[in-house]
Amino acid sequence: MSFTDAEIEYLTSQRLGRLASVAPSGAPQNNPVAFTYNPATGTIDIGGHNLTSSRKFRNIKADPRVAFVVDDLASTNPWKARGVEIRGHAEALVDVEPPHPYFGSAMIRIRPRRIITWGIDDAPMAGRDVEP
């Protein structure tokens, strides 16, 4: 399994993340996106309406390298940030069964290669490589 129980608990408590992809020109692109953790595949699934017409979908078809961040502030006094960064490869999928009514029939599926966490279970920032 790529994700720890604490990471899964955190990811399933959140609804929005930021997806960074690489345009064919080499320029980075970063977008807020809706996502879900898929326990059957151990992946992050990103969806939305008209996803196939988006730049991020086209970027991933050309270059599958992505970074995805989910973070928030658990507290501002004292300051306590927490989050998960997932670096990996994504697939641009079409004609899939949407996991939520607000997803269309297209999806971006991220397979983690590296996971970095901070503030989860009061642990310090830590990163690890995971099996593809």
Q: For residue 32, what is the domain's CATH number?
A: 2.30.110.10
> For the chain, what is the mean pLDDT?
92
Q: Which residues pair with 88 in a beta bridge?
A: 66, 112
Q: Is residue 130 one of the residues assigned to a domain?
A: no
Cα–Cα distance for residue pair 50/46, rounded to 1 Å:
12
What domain range includes position 17? 5-121
Cα–Cα distance for residue pair 6/8, rounded to 1 Å:
5
Q: Is residue 64 one of the residues assigned to a domain?
A: yes
Q: How many domains does the chain have?
A: 1
The length of the chain is 132
Q: What is the pLDDT of residues 51-90, one digit of tens each?
A: 999 999 999 999 999 999 999 999 999 999 999 999 999 9
**pLDDT score at 125:** 86
pTM, two decimals, is 0.92
Q: Is residue 132 one of the residues assigned to a domain?
A: no
